[in-house]
Structure 1
Amino acid sequence: MNIRFLHIIFLLCLSQSFAQTVISGKIISEKNIPLEGASVYFNNTTIGTITNKKGLFRFKIKDGNYILVVSYLGFKTHQLSIDTSKKQKEITIKLQEDNNVLDEILIKKTVYDDDWKYNLNRFKQTLLGRSKLSQECKILNEKDLHFEFNYKTNTLTAIAKKPLKIKHSGLGYLITYDLVDYTLQKNQLFFSGYARYENLRKSVKKKWKRNRQEAFNGSQMHFFRDLINNKYKENGFVVNQFKRVLNPERPSEEKIKSARELIKLNRRNINFSKTISNPTTHLDSALVTVKKARLPKYKDYLYKQNVPYEEIISFENNIPVLVFENHLMVIYTKEIEEENYLIGMFGKRKKASGVQTSNIVLQQGKAFLDRTGITVNPNALFNEGYWGFESFGNMLPLDYIKD
C-alpha cells in the first residue's frame, strides 16, 4: 500500500530577520471573562504559553508572519494571522463557546472493541508512519479517538474528543495535536490539524539532536528550504520529471465491471484454478479481464533527468512557487531506505535502491511555498514514496534549525 498524503496544515511563516518583537494580549470569553489556562502558540513550533489568571499572555519572537492559535476546552479554536514586523497593539481575542462540539460522537458512545483496536492501529500506522522514529511516538490519550468506517466508500474517518498528546521519545518532544480532519480513503490519506511542540526536557539529549538532524536530512522541509535557496543539488538532491498515464495493459473500469458481473452469474460453473492462455469464450475472457484488473491503474514514464532550477520554481511577489509540468521525482542520495519502507505495508518487499525517492504531484497547478519548508496551501500537492512513508513521526517544528 503506497500511502499518499496531504500535509498537516502548517500555515506559519518565519522570518529570517534577527529582529525581535514582543507580542502580548488577552484571551476572554464572549462574556468578557478572562480565560485562565488557555493554550496560545504559534502553529507547528516550540513557541507557546498558557494564559495567567487574568487571561494574559506574552511572547518575544523574531519578526515575521505567523499563525497564532488559541485553544481552550469548550471553546472553538481560534486562529489569527500576525505580521510581527509591524507595530502591534495588545491583542484581545474573544473565544466563542462551542456547545455543539462532538455532539454526534457524544450521542454515539465510543465502543473500545476489536474494530476500534483495528482502526486505531491503521490510524497510527498512517498518521504517525512506520519509520524507525515513528515507533518511538506514543499517543498518550488513545481513548479520546473515535472512528467511523464507511464500507461503501472504504473510508475511515477519525475524530479526537480532546487534543491528542503525543510523546515522541525519539525526537524529544511532547506534541499537542489538535486534530481537525483525518480521512483515509483506500490508499489516500488526508489529515490536518494544529501542532504545538514542547521539549521533553530543558536540556536536549545528544540522541535527540542526532535524531532531529536525521529526520531533517532528506525530508520535504530540507528539500524545500534548499530549493528556495537553490542549494538542493549540492546537498544531495536530484530532481527528475515523469508523466503518469493510464496503464494500457489494464482493462478499463467498464470492462472490469462487466467481467465481474458475468463471473458472478456463472460462479457455480467456473474452474478458478484453470489456466487460460487463449480465451475461447466470453467467460474465459471475463476471467482474464479480472486477473488483469490487479495490474496498476497507471504507469509512470521518466522523461527528463536533472530538471533545471528555473523549471521547478518561480517567484511571485517574492513568494516562492512550485510550478512545473507533469510530476517531479525527488531523490535524496545521501541516505538509504529504511527496512520498514522496503517491506511495505503488507509485507511485499521492494527492491532496495540505496537512495530515498519521493514524488511530488501538484493538485492545483502550482503550490506556494513558505520559507520554513512547507506548502502554504496543504491541499496544493500530494507526496508519494518516501516522504509519505515518514509521515508525522518524522516531522519537525518549523522553527527547527539544523546544527
Structure 2
Amino acid sequence: MTRFLIFLLFFNLFYFQISAQIYLEGKIYVNNEPQSNVSVYLNNTTTGTITNKDGEFNLEVKNGVHQLIISHLGFKTIAHNVDTETYKKPLVFSLLEEDFPLDEVVVKGKRSNDDWEYHYSVFVREFIGTDELSKHCTIKNRDVLSFEFDAQNNVFTAKAIEPLLIENEALGYAISYDLQYFSLEKNISKYLGYSYFKELRGSKGKHKKWRKNRLKAYHGSQLHFYRSVVKHALQKEGFVINQFVRKKNKDRPSPERVIRAGKILSKSNVVFNLSGKMDRPENSIDSALIILEKAKLPKYIDYLSKDEIASSDIILDEGKQTYLLFNHNLRVTYLREKEENNYILRNPFSKPRKAVSQASNVIPLAKKIKVYPIGVLANPLDVLYEGYWSYTKFANSLPLDYRESNED
C-alpha cells in the first residue's frame, strides 16, 4: 500500500443554511471603551464587516447556526457561536490583549537565523500545498510567522502574530487567515484557523478564469462530497464509495526482529548481495537478510469489504440533524477528474504513471459524525483523510457560501 501523507484540516465550523435572513447587531469594547475597525465575520465565508467609530457592527446573515469571529491586531480572537433562533440583540464583546508583548514577537517572527527560509518552505508546502493552484497562492505578510522545531520529538510548529494575508490569484480571493494552531508531526499536518474571504477585483477575462478554477477546486472536494452525501446524490455528482478494512501485514517482521537482524549483520564481515532472490535461508546471516528485505513491506494492507455503497448506507437522519455512520474506512473516488502529475510524483521515489481518477480515504475517528447540509462536519477532527484530499490543501479552499450555480 502506498503511504500517503495524512492531512487534517479543521475549522471548528458551525453553519446551517436555510432561506430567510436577519441582521446580527453588536458592539465591541476595549477597556470599557468602544473600539472601531474591529473585523467581524462569519468563519470561512465572504460575509463580514468592521466596527464603526462607536464600536458597532451590523451583519446580514442567513438563519441558522454560525460561528462569528471577532479579530483585532494585538487582541485575542473571539469565536462565538450564534443561533439565529435564540439570538438576542445586541451582541456585546470585550476584547482582551494578547499575552505576549507585540514588539517582542515581531522581532522573533523575523528571519533571525539561517533556518527561517527552510522552515517557511516547509510551512508553505504543508499549509498552502504543492498542487497547481498553490503556485498562484501567496502569503503577503510572511514576516508575521515564527517557527519552532522540537528535534527530540520531531515536531514542527508555526505561529503568526497577526492574521495571514493570503492572495489566491488562481481562485480570485484575498483571504485573511487567523492562524490558531499549526503542527507537523510524523507526516501528519494539522492546522486550525479562521478564514474571511474577499473577492479580488479583475477584468472580465480574470473573472472567467476564476469561475473555471473555482469549479475545478470544488469538483471532487470534501465540500462537494459531503453536500452530495446529504443530498443522496453521490452517483449523480460523480462519486463512488467503497468500504475497506485495514489490517496489519503479517508478512512484515516486527521492529524487534529487524533490530536483531541488523545486529547479526553488523557483526559479520561478509559482503552482502541484496539484489538476488533467496528462497531458503542456509544460515543466520541469510535469515537476517530475508528479515531486512521483508521490512520494506507495507505495515498495513487494505481489504475491500463492500463496494459502491449508497448515501443511505452511511447516513442517519435524526430530526433536523444528519449523521454519518460507518464502522469501516471509506475509499472515495471522484470519477470526473484525473490526478495531477504533481500528486503522482509527490514522493521522492515515485515513478511516472498514467493518471487515474482522484481517490481519497476517509478514516472515521468517531462512531457518530454530525454533518451539516452546507457540506462540513460539525467536528472535522472526527475523520482522518488520506490520498488526494491530503494533497489538495489551503490553495484549494473555497468559502462555505460558495455555490456551483454561481459559476454558470
Scaled by the length of structure 1, what TM-score is found?
0.92
Structure 2 counterpart of 1:221 = 223
Conserved? CA contact 2:341–2:355, under 8 Å? no
1:382 correspondence with 2:384: yes
Q: What pairs up with 1:92-241 in 2 under 5 angstroms? A: 92-100=92-100, 111-201=111-201, 205-241=207-243
How many residue pairs match? The answer is 399
- The structure-2 alpha-carbon separation of the partners of 1:120 and 1:108, relative to structure 1 and needing over 3 Å to count, comes to closer
Structure 2 counterpart of 1:73 = 73
Unaligned runs of 5+ in 1: none
Offset, 1:110 = 5.2
Deviates more, 1:199-208 or 1:153-162: 199-208
CA distance in 2 between counterparts of 1:262 and 1:142 reads 50
CA distance in 2 between counterparts of 1:256 and 1:345 reads 24
Cα RMSD over matched residues?
Answer: 2.4
CA deviation profile, 1:346-370 (whole Å, cap 9, x unmatched): 2513643531111100112232112
Structure 2 counterpart of 1:23 = 24
Structure 1 counterpart of 2:366 = 364
Deviates more, 1:141-150 or 1:357-366: 141-150
Q: What pairs up with 1:285-300 in 2 under 5 angstroms? A: 285-300=287-302
Question: Match for 1:369: what amino acid?
Answer: V
SS in 2 for 1:333: strand
CA distance in 1 between counterparts of 2:367 and 2:8 reads 15
CA distance in 2 between counterparts of 1:376 and 1:262 reads 52
1:326 correspondence with 2:328: yes
Question: Match for 2:25: what amino acid?
Answer: S
CA deviation profile, 1:243-301 (whole Å, cap 9, x unmatched): 111112211123234434555x538x353555572444444433433333232211111
CA deviation profile, 1:345-400 (whole Å, cap 9, x unmatched): 42513643531111100112232112211111121001111111111111100010
- The structure-2 alpha-carbon separation of the partners of 1:279 and 1:400, relative to structure 1 and needing over 3 Å to count, comes to same
Deviates more, 1:151-160 or 1:61-70: 151-160
- The structure-2 alpha-carbon separation of the partners of 1:350 and 1:190, relative to structure 1 and needing over 3 Å to count, comes to farther
Conserved? CA contact 2:111–2:117, under 8 Å? no
SS in 2 for 1:81: strand
Scaled by the length of structure 2, what TM-score is found?
0.91
SS in 2 for 1:233: helix
CA deviation profile, 1:23-76 (whole Å, cap 9, x unmatched): 1111102x2111111111100000111112111111112111100000112211
- The structure-2 alpha-carbon separation of the partners of 1:260 and 1:186, relative to structure 1 and needing over 3 Å to count, comes to farther
Question: Match for 1:266: what amino acid?
Answer: K
- The structure-2 alpha-carbon separation of the partners of 1:35 and 1:290, relative to structure 1 and needing over 3 Å to count, comes to farther
Offset, 1:108 = 5.7
CA distance in 2 between counterparts of 1:40 and 1:261 reads 62
Question: Match for 2:389: what amino acid?
Answer: W
Conserved? CA contact 2:28–2:35, under 8 Å? yes
Deviates more, 1:249-258 or 1:385-394: 249-258
CA deviation profile, 1:144-165 (whole Å, cap 9, x unmatched): 2212222233221111122111
- The structure-2 alpha-carbon separation of the partners of 1:252 and 1:25, relative to structure 1 and needing over 3 Å to count, comes to same
